[in-house]
Amino acid sequence: MLRLLRALPLTLAIAAVSIVATSCSSNNGTKARFVNAIQNTAQYGGALDVEVNGTQQFTNVTFSTASASTYTPIPAGNVTFEGFESPGVTTPVFTDSTTLSSGTEYTMVATGYAGGTGSQVVLLSLSDDNLAPADGTLNFRVINAAPNASPSLNGSVDIWIEPYPDNSFSPTEPATIQNLAYQSASRYVNVAYNSDLLGFTMYVYTVGGGTRLITVPISVSGSQNSAAVCTVVLTDFPNANELNSSPVKLDDNNCPL
């Protein structure tokens, strides 16, 4: 390529470099989806239009919902996200930058508080692994975007994912996901398909199994010969200092929750 450029006149060489750079930038394979878990206030209505490097990529993303079930192509490298109250407000609710790798899929989660005194929004940038596991296996990941999940323990929780019905469940069993802190994501955990095909129950407790916070039914379509990847995002209730009993459920791969 360099030898070819040397043979071209200067103007054509610059144009060729520009075309190559633009092609590499626009076809980097990086994709993202956006989850709005920002607590509402009287000054902030809750829906966001999100710009990536000055270009709007996500529209009217309401509190505690995902932008879409599919991913949106975005630039790689040092990337700036700005969230604007939808529609038409020019002052951003948040501005944050992160570094994204080429050819990687991401879940972006905005959490914290917006509007009024104490406004603080944190943007979580989480790389996804959506490759299907072995047949008969579900890969579950949980993201803790709930600042008040467990206030006495800085938002940390223990999580059990059990086949439904599991009449023998007890929080004395080892947790499926232990001590998941606010603003963090668990590893992907392998769970065998429920042989009764009745789905699962996710129990969220304070760390150590002290107090049950929420119980979440998780219905997953498929069969014993299927494989799937699922992400669950814990949020607070809007305008309440309490863990939401209906977390955001994302279909990563063959997992229509």
Residue 90 predicted with pLDDT over 70? yes
pTM for this predicted structure: 0.84
Looking at the structure, tell me whether residues 70 and 36 fall in a common domain: yes
DSSP, residue by residue, 222-252: --TT-EEEEEEEE-BPTTSSSB-SS-EEEEE
Assigned domain for 73 exists: yes
Looking at the structure, tell me whether residues 39 and 64 fall in a common domain: yes
> Strand 105-113 to strand 120-127: parallel, antiparallel, or no bridges (unpaired)?
antiparallel
Assigned domain for 16 exists: no
Looking at the structure, tell me whether residues 247 and 189 fall in a common domain: yes
Amino acid identity of residue 223, one-letter, is S
From 127, 153, 172, give the residue that closes a domain. Answer: 127
Q: What is the pLDDT of residue 114?
A: 81
Place of tokens 């802190």: 181
From 105, 127, 149, give the residue that closes a domain. Answer: 127
CB atoms within 10 A of CB 39: 26
Looking at the structure, tell me whether residues 104 and 58 fall in a common domain: yes
Assigned domain for 4 exists: no
- Give every CB contact of residue 108 below 8 A, 6+ residues apart in sequence: 32, 33, 34, 35, 81, 123, 124, 125, 126
Q: What is the pLDDT of residues 111-169, one digit of tens each?
A: 988 866 556 899 999 999 999 888 888 899 999 999 888 766 668 999 999 988 877 88
Looking at the structure, tell me whether residues 108 and 216 fall in a common domain: no
Distance between CA atoms of residues 59 and 47, nearest Å: 9
Query: What is the maximum span of the chain, computed from C-alpha positions, in angstroms?
Result: 77
Residue 49 in contact with residue 72, Cβ under 8 Å?
no
Any idea what the CATH number is for the domain that residue 206 is in? Answer: 2.60.40
Domain boundaries, position 103:
25-127
Assigned domain for 17 exists: no
What's the number of domains the chain is made of?
2
Looking at the structure, tell me whether residues 120 and 152 fall in a common domain: no
